[in-house]
Amino acid sequence: MTTLMIDSQFFYSLITSVFIGGVAGYLGSLMVTKRMALVGDAVGHIALPGVALAVVYNFNIILGAFISLMIGILVIWLFKTGTNLHTEALTGIVFAASIAIAFLLLPSGDLETVLIGDITKINAADVVISVFFSIIIFLILKKIFPKMILATLSDDLALSQKINVKKYDLIYLVIIGVIVALGIKILGSLLIGALVVIPASASRNVSRNMFEYSYGGMLIGIISCILGVALFSIIGFPAGPLIVLVSAIIFLITFLLKK
């Protein structure tokens, strides 16, 4: 029975991380192109108040992270539409306030789990939620990808093509928030940004066009998660840092290949 439980937990962790890692790598290719690579890391910290409340009141931290992120992203978007500040600056303001709130709420004993994740707490419901939303997000991203790239090149050019830049910016920010919420249990709020940035950056090193770049980021994200979870099952170190280290090694390999 114990072996069966261990095998089930490994399966849950692997499936969840593969789907989230893949779509995070795909999203990352857009974020790196838009020069918003660090936004994913900052958004991870915006999830902290919700995660802290989930820990204190014992409900699913994915739900807590999602609520906190949606509030934070709405605040960022509202400020962006009313000021000349860039998304990075507004995200930094909200993320700093979120950290302050979280540390007032969070018991110190749960700090490590919240910051770097714990895949042993992934259950069957988390798998279903993660797979479902990962597929939905991928399909939405695939549809809006060309429009977001065009808006990145020029807002005026996007407007000339009747693209509602503000609407797509909101969709884009919500997608980032959902990915961060889903990835909290795997990498925690401290490391989730790496799963978005590093695979995409590694793919960019060896890609010749946008197709290879975006799907290469997805593939590297998947490989990083598979190897990270496998190493966790062998040596017992936390899976989150192992996934990040694997993706960093892949980035180094692609950097050397580029040279």
Mean pLDDT for the stretch of residues 202-209:
89
CATH number for 235 = 1.10.3470.10
Flag whether pLDDT at 87 surpasses 70: no
- CA dihedral sign, ordered 11, 66, 177, 68: negative
Confidence of residue 5 (pLDDT cuts 50, 70, 90): very low
For the whole prediction, is pTM greater than 0.85?
no
Check residue 19 and give its pLDDT: 92
Mean pLDDT for the stretch of residues 18-40:
81
Check residue 152 and give its pLDDT: 67
Count how many domains the chain has.
1
Percentage with pLDDT > 70 across the chain: 82
What pLDDT digit, counting tens, does each position of 109-125 carry? 556 666 677 777 788 88
**Domain carrying residue 226:** 2-258
Contact partners, residue 117, CB within 8 Å, separation at least 6: 183, 184, 185, 186, 187, 188, 191, 192, 238, 239, 240
Mean pLDDT for the stretch of residues 5-12:
72
Flag whether pLDDT at 76 surpasses 60: yes
* Lookup result for tokens 């940035």: 197
Q: How far apart are CA 57 and CA 184, in angstroms?
A: 17
Tell me how far CA of residue 167 lies from CA of 75, 81, 170, 251, 254, in angstroms.
15, 11, 5, 33, 35
124-153 vs 2-33: helix crossing angle, rounded to 10? 10
Confidence of residue 93 (pLDDT cuts 50, 70, 90): confident
Token pair listed for 17:
């991380």
Instruction: Supply the mean pLDDT for the chain.
Output: 80
Q: How far apart are CA 157 and CA 88, in angstroms?
A: 22
Q: How far apart are CA 220 and CA 60, in angstroms?
A: 28
